[in-house]
Structure 1
Amino acid sequence: MARVIGFELNSQEPEKVLEFYSKVFGWKIAEPNWDYWKVVTGEEGKAGIDGGIAKGPHDYPFGTRIQIEVDSIDEAISLAKANGAMIVRDKMEFEDFYLAYLVDPVGLGIGLVQKK
């Protein structure tokens, strides 16, 4: 079973978003990396998930996506396409993980993550 492991908030004004969530909810915001700021939303060991805030790319300039960890990103992409999803960004490789973005059959954005 794939599990939601995080979220991503996309905005064309990420600094404004960072300030809002930090001041209102006390979220801890890390230094940026590629226009992406990791966010810690609570204490270790408490229920909940962490995520990130990003300057939204041209293909997803604003909105919220959940990040789902899968065992095989290639298999998950194939199954998603077969069940009506549209691939927004195919499998990308990063240092510790693979990432893909898709839109489900009703237009909700999802990120798929496979750890290396």
Structure 2
Amino acid sequence: MPKVTHFEISANEPEKVIPFYEKIFGWKTTKLEGPVEYWAVQTGPDTEPGIDGGFFRPNEWFSGTVNTIEVTDLDEYLDKVRHHGGEVVTEKMTIPGVGYLAYCKDVEGTLFGLTERDPGAGGWRKSESTP
């Protein structure tokens, strides 16, 4: 059964918001390289329960908090989202060394992410296979 494995928090001024969370919760934040400004967040040791996340600047299709669900086959789950009345908001994207990611909306318009783990995933690109 797929589980929520990641969260994202949008921030107009990440440089201001990130220290807030770091000071209160002790989170460790790292700015990642890539085509989108993104800060990865480690919320605690991997040996303890919980999930890690990230910060991003709001964009034209979302601001707020997003939960990401890990699945075994991203293309299969994107088809399921469409079949059951949801919307695929972004194309399947490659995240180097991590895997693949896409964002969707449920039948009420709530945004969520889907990810497929593949440590062998190559450079930043959008897949041509997913509309």
TM-score, length of structure 1 as denominator length: 0.89
Aligned to 1:73: 74
Partner of 2:128: none
Paired with 2:74 and 2:67, the residues of 1 have a C-alpha distance of 15
User: Residues of 2 paired with 1:45 and 1:30: CA distance?
Assistant: 20
Q: Residue 25 of structure 1 aligns with which residue?
A: 25
Gaps of 5+ in 2: 119-131
**Secondary structure in 1 aligned to 2:5?**
strand
**Deviant stretches of 4+, over 3 Å:** none
Distance 2:81 2:57 in 1: 26
**CA-CA distance at 1:82 after TM superposition:** 1.2
After TM superposition, give the deviation of residue 44 of structure 1 in Å. Answer: 2.2
Partner of 2:87: 86
Count of aligned positions? 115
Q: Secondary structure at the match of 2:109?
A: coil
- Aligned match of 2:113: 111
* 1:90 partner SS: coil
2:123 aligned residue:
none
Separation in 2, partners of 1:59, 1:29: 24
Question: Aligned letter for 1:75?
Answer: E
Q: How far is the alpha carbon of 1:49 from its aligned partner?
A: 0.6
Structure 1 counterpart SS, 2:92: strand
In angstroms, what is the RMSD of aligned CA positions? 1.4
Of Structure 1 and Structure 2, the greater strand share is in 1
Gaps of at least 5 residues in structure 1 are none
Offset at residue 56 of structure 1 (A): 2.3
Structure 2 counterparts to residues 3-18 of structure 1, below 5 A: 3-18=3-18
Higher relative contact order (CA 8 A, sep 6+): 1
Distance in 2 (CA, whole Å) between partners of 1:92 and 1:77 is 12
Q: Which whole-Å CA distance do the structure 1 matches of 2:90 and 2:22 have between them?
A: 29
Alignment partner of 2:15: what SS? helix
The percent identity for this pair of structures is 39
